Chain A
């Protein structure tokens, strides 16, 4: 459990990459929790599609067989109604939409997570070689659960989990089962798409979780696609691309109605009958930010009112609930009773004065 073990693990990870020719794991918008702090630095991709009050959150997991206990924790904006396998190539099709493959003369260019109550397990499911558990609980409860279930949590995990638990106590813990992957013939580096269906008032994409376990100077890279019924308002406001390859920040590379071709292709993917027939607005955000600067999430207002929630973005703390939930109601009852008594007194006085004037 010391630096040289971590170094050995890192060497093993590099070796795995060399042997299998694939990078270790990438989870879109989930914090990667690997043994001894080995963290993937690859670019991640996710889609948050929102229609009729339902967020369809698509992400994919890609693991190397040599990393047996790799897992991920993803904060969610609400309790999912189901977690299922995602479309086979939806994320790749979106990538192709915004980064079309380029050709050269010779060949096609390479294509491109004390005393506290226990966390409550809301849902357990398997998607191919992934064991997925949806949890409800505070940061400590979820952290305890993760630790007790073999997740390695880096030193920033308590603060990051707390950051999310203050906003939504729902987390998705995902663990890769190498044995099952081998039995299912899942190749090393093969992505496993996961589709999370979440009823929520507005879509939301966690970004700070991508910094989990990373040094503040590490570059976090992610492609975030949004499909919404109309042009959404976002917080933070993404910046326009300046043409520079090393531009930092949350960059809005595309904001337009999705083409008929794209929508048609997405609808034709496996398990994609959730995609509505109506046109949808496509937003493509490129995240290229130092981990130390990425202290926020992406709040989205897809309603058309243009008011993304600063709390959802992580720029403000949620309103502190009253210690006693009944307090507000009780106050109203007392206030109402006081008004009623005053009304009775006034009425009586009016009645008395009326009698007196007769």
Chain B
């Protein structure tokens, strides 16, 4: 009697564990892609980027220069805000990081399901965007 009860309890526990694992798997975010970006002589080695709807991308940005840079992902409006803005450093928001000289910094960003024209990754330190530090982001259809 006691042995049968123990077996039933074990079965329930195993079933519960299976249910928990199944639920966890269902709620897990989609697998993220890692994009390595290297900055050299004030240029990104990635010239453009294509993402899938709703894709989560982990950007690992390495600055080989002796000067600081930024890596900011966003639409045209956001890029314009940063070009004219006054934030001295970034890191609090996903997709916006300061990359100090010689450092490697990463940020993870989830793209929306649709991208309007004008999405870019860019650096907006004075003169850097004009020097060519930006690239377009497009979405696969």
Range class of the B interface residue count: 20 to 34
Residues of B within 8 A of A5 (CB): 86, 126
Contact present for B66 and A144 (CB under 8 Å): yes
- Nearest-CB distance from B102 to chain A (Å)? 5
Contact present for A140 and B127 (CB under 8 Å): no
Residues of A within 8 A of B40 (CB): 158
Residues of A within 8 A of B124 (CB): 2-3
Partner-contacting stretch, out of A78-86, A149-157, A194-202, A218-226: A149-157
Complex Cα distance, B85 from A6, in Å, reads 11
Report if A115 contacts B (CB, 8 A): yes
Report if A232 contacts B (CB, 8 A): no
- Nearest-CB distance from A75 to chain B (Å)? 15
Residues of B within 8 A of A141 (CB): 66
Residues of B within 8 A of A37 (CB): 126-127
Within 8 A of A (CB), among B61-104: 64-68, 82-88, 101-102
If the complex has contacts A161-B66, A162-B41, are A2 and B84 also in contact, measured as CB distance less than 8 A? Answer: yes
Residues of B within 8 A of A144 (CB): 66, 101-102
Report if A159 contacts B (CB, 8 A): yes
- Nearest-CB distance from B78 to chain A (Å)? 13
Contact present for A2 and B83 (CB under 8 Å): yes
Contact present for B102 and A114 (CB under 8 Å): yes
| Chain A residues touching B, majority SS | helix
Contact present for A159 and B42 (CB under 8 Å): yes
- Nearest-CB distance from A66 to chain B (Å)? 18
- Nearest-CB distance from A218 to chain B (Å)? 12
Report if A147 contacts B (CB, 8 A): yes
Interface string of B13-24 (1 = CB under 8 A from A): 000000000000
Complex Cα distance, B101 from A114, in Å, reads 8
Interface string of A125-142 (1 = CB under 8 A from B): 000000000000001111
Report if A36 contacts B (CB, 8 A): yes
- Nearest-CB distance from A329 to chain B (Å)? 33
Partner-contacting stretch, out of B1-9, B25-33, B113-121, B128-136: B128-136
Contact present for A3 and B83 (CB under 8 Å): yes
Report if B125 contacts A (CB, 8 A): yes
Complex Cα distance, B67 from A161, in Å, reads 12
Interface string of A148-179 (1 = CB under 8 A from B): 00000111111101100000000000000000
CB-CB nearest in chain B for A36: B126
Task: Give A contacts to B, CB under 8 Å.
Answer: 1-6, 36-37, 114-115, 139-144, 146-147, 153-159, 161-162, 213, 215
Complex Cα distance, B101 from A146, in Å, reads 12
- Please pick, from A114, A146, A156, A215, the residue contacting B64 in the complex, using a CB distance under 8 A: A114
- Nearest-CB distance from B121 to chain A (Å)? 16
- Please pick, from B42, B88, B126, the residue contacting A156 in the complex, using a CB distance under 8 A: B42
- Please pick, from A140, A143, A155, the residue contacting B131 in the complex, using a CB distance under 8 A: A155
Contact present for B127 and A153 (CB under 8 Å): no
Contact present for A143 and B66 (CB under 8 Å): yes
Interface centre among B64, B65, B83, B88 (most CB of A within 10 A): B65
CB-CB nearest in chain A for B104: A114
Residues of A within 8 A of B84 (CB): 2-4
Interface centre among B40, B66, B68, B131 (most CB of A within 10 A): B66
Complex Cα distance, B101 from A208, in Å, reads 23
CB-CB nearest in chain B for A146: B66
Complex Cα distance, B127 from A154, in Å, reads 7
CB-defined A-B contacts under 8 Å, sample of 15: A1-B86, A1-B88, A2-B82, A2-B87, A3-B124, A36-B126, A37-B127, A140-B102, A143-B67, A154-B126, A154-B127, A155-B133, A158-B40, A158-B67, A213-B127
Residues of B within 8 A of A213 (CB): 127
Q: 18 extra interchain contacts, Cβ-Cβ under 8 A, other than A144-B101, A147-B68?
A: A2-B124, A4-B84, A4-B85, A6-B126, A36-B126, A115-B102, A140-B65, A147-B101, A155-B42, A155-B125, A155-B128, A155-B131, A155-B133, A156-B42, A157-B67, A158-B67, A162-B41, A213-B127
